[in-house]
Amino acid sequence: MATTEKRVRSRKAGTPKVSKTPAARKSSAAPGKPKPAPVKALKSPRTRKKPSASAAAADRLRTLVLSALDDLKARDVREIDVRDKSSVTDLLVVASGTSSRHVKSIADEVVKMAKKAGLPPIGVEGQREAEWVLVDLGDIVVHVMLPRTREFYGLERLWTVGDQMPTALAG
């Protein structure tokens, strides 16, 4: 207890008690020199989108996605070309499922078919709740949603401002 009391008394009033490691004690021994701030290496900005594949590969991916959506009976499938509006992706595909289980199954089928074709997704989000599952395939981003979620967020309206509404692919 005497050691603790000494430490408390030696601190200036109002300064917090800070325990230092032996290495930190040595570095703070030189009171006249300020410590230089640690230098962080700057990372080069990464572009999220990989260079666009050939038109044939992009068309193959599009066909694969639409086939996967059709196989599991996705409803109200729409394509939105966003090449002129976004540098992140070229095509958005928006589809609905009848339940959260159906939404998850549709998204899983898209992922499975993409992997089988040698085009694994960059990322998949929302599978746990399965109200809105996003499958990022690079050139194509697939949104599978419950109808109420789709209506609430209105992605079609958001991405087609000033354009004609996207055409329906499946009913």
d(CA 104, CA 145): 9
From 128, 119, 113, 123, select the one nearest 69 (Cα to Cα): 113
What is the residue range of 108's domain?
55-159
20 within domain boundaries: no
Name the 3-class secondary structure at 81. Answer: strand
Q: What is the CA radius of gyration of the chain?
A: 27
Q: What is the pLDDT of residues 106-135, one digit of tens each?
A: 999 999 998 998 888 999 998 888 889 999
Residue 167 inside a domain? The answer is no
**CATH code of residue 127:** 3.30.460.10
Asked if residue 47 belongs to a domain, the reply is: no
Predicted confidence at residue 51, as pLDDT, reads 46
Low-confidence ranges of the chain (pLDDT < 50): 5, 8, 42-49, 51-52, 170-171
Distance CA 12, CA 16 (A): 9
pLDDT digits (tens, 9 = 90+) for 41-54: 544 444 444 544 56
Q: Which pLDDT belongs to residue 147?
A: 93
Residue 77 falls inside a structural domain: yes
Task: Report yes or no on 115 lying in a domain.
Answer: yes
Please check whether residue 62 lies inside any domain of the structure.
yes
Alpha-helix runs per DSSP H in the chain: 2-10, 22-27, 55-71, 100-116, 147-153, 155-159
pTM of the model: 0.62
38 within some domain: no
Please, what's the largest Cα pairwise distance for the chain? 81
Does the residue 22 lie in any domain? no
Question: How many domains would you assign to the chain?
Answer: 1
- pLDDT attached to residue 18: 53
The count of C-alpha atoms lying within 13 angstroms of the C-alpha of 70, restricted to the half-sphere facing its C-beta, is 9
pLDDT the model gives residue 170 = 47
